[in-house]
Structure 1
Amino acid sequence: MTGFVYTSHPARVIFGSGTLARLPEEVERLDLHRVLVLAAPQQADDAQQIAARIGPRAAAVFSGATMHTPVSVTEEAMRLVQTERIDGLVAVGGGSTTGLGKAIALRTDLPQIVAPTTYAGSEMTPILGETRDGQKVTQKSPRVLPETVIYDVDLTLNLPVALSGTSGINAIAHAVEALYAQDRNPIMSLMALEGIRAMARALPVIVQSPGDRAARSDALYGAWLCGLCLGTVGMALHHKLCHTLGGTFDLPHAETHTAVLPHAVAYNAPALPDEMAALAAALGATDAAQGLFDLADAVGAQHALKHLGMPEAGIERTADMAVANPYWNPRPLERQAIRDLIAHAYAGERPQI
């Protein structure tokens, strides 16, 4: 076995059904007295209920979390943090809410409790992507890691089927890139393949039976593992492209990952025969890229970036941006090949192998 470096991040994880009931005791355990509850606008009522569950230790609610974590929204929340003398954060929701909590924590180092309601996996990573003036900038910092993550399967039972599918494939993308990250290691590869297997097993069942607790539990377990992979090792072409596309054209996060992933995998496949064979087996497919495309079909996801709001002119622009700031990838970045990758994803075509 070749040498490797494995770095683990501190995390307290509470997993199960009905585990949100333990939120007040976690607030007390962290000795928090003026908590800010964070949510997206569509979960404003849920945020108020969460605050009521916490009781007197909940000082305020901010339900303005937005996709891609715009700096302007963070600054608005920061004003509330200051005026209400907030000493801790509770984020209940998807990646947008988790991202806002991270952005506040980066600026304040306030302790966080996160209860995910989707399969984004962001809660397990020290990675924060913020958008300013149409540009998304990603950074890593241990300051943004939550002190406690509460995984409650009950919170995902009403997650719409369409969002369940794309959110789950977004999680798979984290694990896929962990298999061939520059700083990959065998421990993360084990977790990545286990996470992919759990997700690939669960998502088609959720489409047919959204209330299936076993499938929902598998998916949340898979999301945890996939997020942990992304937070421990690096990223490559897929995530760089999706961050560029999302930040530049304001595309929906999970849907963009779902559309791009099969094509990014096809691009890197010639350089990674062993990793692709393991990925295909975890998916229950004969080819990794085609298996990911078929999984997106199985959950009814949109394949075409053009239907997610990307302009056709964005193909050339994204290709230029991808090669303008070189980064590590297992296959060298070739402008024409990347342009073709983006064009196939724009049109929603099957990945080219």
Structure 2
Amino acid sequence: MIEAFAHTSYAGRVVFGPGSLHQVAAEVELLGIRRALVIATGSAGQAAGEVQAGLKERFAGRIDGVRQHVPTEVAQAARTKAQEVQADGIIAIGGGSAIGLAKAIALTADVQIVAVPTTYAGSEMTPVWGETSGGSKTTGTDVTVLPKTVVYDAQLTLGLPLNVTAASVANALAHCVEAVWTEKANPITETTAVEAARALSIGLKQVIQSPADVAARGNLLYGACLAGSALASAGTGVHHKLCHLLGGTYNLPHAETHAAVLPQVTRVKAVEVPRAKARLEEALQTDDLATGLFDLFEAAKVPTSLQALGLTREQAVEAAHRFPGDVEEILTKAWAGTRP
């Protein structure tokens, strides 16, 4: 019997398929955007140029270069730029940092976002925003920052290095796993998360063997889309809160931090949701969820210790004391990279 639950779905349009970058201008027109500001990470420069050309008179300006964790000074400069060019739409091309900067603008201005992700961060499917100031990261949820349209083009991810690919997949898997144990988790988010984990696991193994396999890259984008959707509805829990603390305070790389922390949090939390744990284990083809995640990340050569990311043991203990909950053992094991 399915127990009673409440589920929130977030409206948005997804355009999926190789070559779909060429549909961005049409999607902008469909939304009625008159002046579009393009935001692009450095690696997405060529794609941004193609989009800019396709926009024609709808192109209002461009921001190149973004920073992870969305520092307040970067967000303020982007908001000023959007105001100066009178943008009513933002096209964000790149990973979570580009989309995060677009969200920072949308948080304070009436603009619509079209997201073109080139990694597997999943931020494009969520109404979650984040901004860092004074060594502290603030996050929140607001439907005004949710992209109206997301364009997934696997061809844009073919050049993503394997180490960046694997770390980004670890980030997406963190969305899947955490989406089954939050207070708002339900059968819909669980089923979505399980399918996402299956696609991400298969896609990562395929990409390790053949990095330029468009179909494999498509599996990863599909999994990232579902993972982000699951997290958008289920919300975040202890894992994401820990990663935001570590990233915002110690400037650790976002995706790699997920890879180091997730197996240790999973070891503690997954036992609370045995059905979901079993379903995720089947999707990942492992006998134990926490160990399976750790081994998958190691096989993909993603750092599985916070120490390898530059965090000191003293900082790990300090972070545990700053966190509202007993997480010292989790962070100690994550710092050392202990196999669960």
**After alignment, is 265-274 or 10-19 more displaced?**
265-274
Please name the residue that 2:338 is paired with: 349
Please name the residue that 1:327 is paired with: none
Please name the residue that 2:314 is paired with: 313
Counterpart secondary structure, 1:108: coil
Counterpart secondary structure, 2:152: strand
Q: Which amino acid counterpart does residue 248 of structure 2 have in structure 1?
A: G
**Which ranges of structure 2 fall in alignment gaps of 5 or more residues?**
none
Does residue 257 (structure 1) correspond to residue 258 (structure 2)? The answer is yes
Question: 1:204-227 deviations in whole A, cap 9, x for unaligned?
Answer: 210121011221111110000000
Please name the residue that 2:244 is paired with: 243
Displacement after TM superposition at 1:46 (Å): 3.9
Question: 1:187-219 deviations in whole A, cap 9, x for unaligned?
Answer: 111111000001011102101210112211111
Question: 1:228-280 deviations in whole A, cap 9, x for unaligned?
Answer: 01111121111111010000100000010011110010121343333222221
Please name the residue that 1:300 is paired with: 301
Displacement after TM superposition at 1:159 (Å): 1.2
Counterpart secondary structure, 1:118: coil
**Aligned counterparts of 2:43 and 2:207: Cα–Cα separation in 1:** 22
Instruction: Note if contact 1:204-1:298 (Cα within 8 Å) is conserved in structure 2.
Output: no
Q: Which amino acid counterpart does residue 117 of structure 2 have in structure 1?
A: P
**Aligned counterparts of 1:23 and 1:315: Cα–Cα separation in 2:** 43
Counterpart secondary structure, 1:37: strand
Displacement after TM superposition at 1:47 (Å): 2.6
Counterpart secondary structure, 1:7: coil
Please name the residue that 2:162 is paired with: 161
Displacement after TM superposition at 1:54 (Å): 1.8
Please name the residue that 2:59 is paired with: 58
Aligned residues with identical type, % of pairs:
43
**After alignment, is 194-203 or 313-322 more displaced?**
313-322
Does the C-alpha gap of structure 1 residues 42 and 214 become closer, same or farther in structure 2, counting only changes over 3 Å?
Answer: closer
**Aligned counterparts of 2:252 and 2:43: Cα–Cα separation in 1:** 18
Displacement after TM superposition at 1:151 (Å): 0.7
Scaled by the length of structure 1, the TM-score of the pair is 0.93
Instruction: Note if contact 2:176-2:227 (Cα within 8 Å) is conserved in structure 1.
Output: yes
Please name the residue that 1:230 is paired with: 231
Please name the residue that 1:93 is paired with: 94
Residue 340 of structure 1, aligned match among 321, 329, 339:
329
Counterpart secondary structure, 1:52: helix
**Aligned counterparts of 2:193 and 2:123: Cα–Cα separation in 1:** 15
Instruction: Note if contact 2:25-2:51 (Cα within 8 Å) is conserved in structure 1.
Output: no
Instruction: Note if contact 2:190-2:276 (Cα within 8 Å) is conserved in structure 1.
Output: no
Displacement after TM superposition at 1:42 (Å): 4.2
Please name the residue that 1:13 is paired with: 14
Please name the residue that 1:132 is paired with: 133
**Which ranges of structure 1 fall in alignment gaps of 5 or more residues?**
324-332
Does the C-alpha gap of structure 1 residues 92 and 4 become closer, same or farther in structure 2, counting only changes over 3 Å?
Answer: same
Question: 1:162-206 deviations in whole A, cap 9, x for unaligned?
Answer: 111110111011111111111111111111100000101110210
Q: Which amino acid counterpart does residue 98 of structure 1 have in structure 2?
A: I
Q: Which amino acid counterpart does residue 82 of structure 1 have in structure 2?
A: Q
**Aligned counterparts of 1:50 and 1:151: Cα–Cα separation in 2:** 14
Displacement after TM superposition at 1:40 (Å): 2.2
Instruction: Give the alignment of 1:42-121 within 5 angstroms.
Output: 42-121=43-122
**After alignment, is 97-106 or 37-46 more displaced?**
37-46
Scaled by the length of structure 2, the TM-score of the pair is 0.97
**Aligned counterparts of 2:135 and 2:71: Cα–Cα separation in 1:** 9
Please name the residue that 2:273 is paired with: 272
Does the C-alpha gap of structure 1 residues 6 and 269 become closer, same or farther in structure 2, counting only changes over 3 Å?
Answer: closer
**Aligned counterparts of 2:272 and 2:46: Cα–Cα separation in 1:** 49
**Aligned counterparts of 2:15 and 2:272: Cα–Cα separation in 1:** 38
Displacement after TM superposition at 1:52 (Å): 1.8
Please name the residue that 1:30 is paired with: 31
Instruction: Give the alignment of 1:148-227 within 5 angstroms.
Output: 148-227=149-228
**Aligned counterparts of 2:227 and 2:35: Cα–Cα separation in 1:** 32
Instruction: Note if contact 1:48-1:61 (Cα within 8 Å) is conserved in structure 2.
Output: no
Displacement after TM superposition at 1:61 (Å): 0.6
**Aligned counterparts of 2:87 and 2:235: Cα–Cα separation in 1:** 33
Displacement after TM superposition at 1:99 (Å): 0.2
Please name the residue that 1:147 is paired with: 148
Instruction: Note if contact 1:258-1:303 (Cα within 8 Å) is conserved in structure 2.
Output: yes
**Aligned counterparts of 1:279 and 1:22: Cα–Cα separation in 2:** 35
Question: 1:92-119 deviations in whole A, cap 9, x for unaligned?
Answer: 0000000000110011030110110000
Instruction: Note if contact 1:68-1:247 (Cα within 8 Å) is conserved in structure 2.
Output: yes
Please name the residue that 1:329 is paired with: none
Counterpart secondary structure, 1:107: coil
Displacement after TM superposition at 1:45 (Å): 4.8
